[in-house]
Amino acid sequence: MSNTSPHNPPVTVAAQPFDYCFDVTTTALVIIDMQRDFIEPGGFGESLGNDVSLLSAIVPACQKVLAAWRRAGGVVVHTREAHEADLSDCPPAKRDRGNPGLRIGDVGPMGRILVKGEPGNQIIAELAPLASEIIIDKPGKGAFYATALHTTLQQLNVTHLIFMGVTTEVCVQTSMREANDRGYDSLLLVDCTESYFPQFKAATIAMTHAQGGIVGWTSTSESLLSALTP
C-alpha cells in the first residue's frame, strides 16, 4: 500500500523500528474498546479482579490524540466489544472462560456485561464518538472478525491505521495482527494503550516492532502530536 497520496505531504513520526510515514487522508485512528465495562470501577474488568486504574491512566493521552486527529480531519474508528442480547454471537468457549464473579451477559452494576446497548458497554464519556465517526461493534477480540471494518476502510481508501485502546495484549494486538494480514501499515501509540498486566503490555510492544516491524510500528503520543503540528 502506498504511504502517501500525490496531493498531501507525508507525515513522519519517529517510531520503532524506523520512522512511520503516512498521509492523514488515507489513515484512520482506531480506538479499541475504551468502554465503561473495562475502564471504570464496577465493570467487567474489575469483576475479573483487575485494577482498572491502570487502564484509566491512559485516558488523558488518548484525549489529546483524538482531539488533534479530529483537527487534522482524519478518519476515526471506535470499537466496542459487544454481543447480541441473546448471546447468539458469544460462544460458550468465550463466556465460560476463567472463573469471574460475573460473566458476559450477566447483570452487573452497569447493566448486562458486554451486551449491546447496556450502559457499561458504552465508550467512556471522555472519548465519546462524534456522530460522524465510525463505531464498530465486534463480537470477538479482533476489530475485523465478523465486522464490516475492512470493507468500510477500503471504501474510504484507508491504507494506514494508528491504534490506541485496551487491552494491549488482547484486543489491540489481535486487531493489529488482523490489520497486518489485510495489508494495512499500523502504528501503536504505547502511552495510549494499557493492560491490566504491565509485563504483557511490554511483551506485546516488543513483539509488534520486532524483526523490522513484523506486526507494525510503535511510538508515543508526543511523537505523533509533534508530527501533526505544522
Hey, which residues are catalytic here? 33, 138, 171
Largest CA distance in the chain: 54
CB 124 within 8 A of CB 35: yes
Q: What are phi and psi of 199, to 5 degrees?
A: -70, -30
3-state secondary structure at position 207: helix
CB 5 within 8 A of CB 200: no
CB 72 within 8 A of CB 224: no
The x, y and z cell numbers of residue 85, run together, are 442480547
Pairing relationship of beta strands 20-22 and 11-13 according to DSSP bridges = antiparallel
Task: List, in sequence order, the alpha helices (H) in 73-184.
Answer: 92-95, 149-155, 173-181
Q: Cα–Cα distance between 101 and 103 in angstroms, integer?
A: 7
Judge if the upstream peptide bond of residue 25 is cis by omega within 30 degrees of 0.
no
3-state secondary structure at position 210: helix
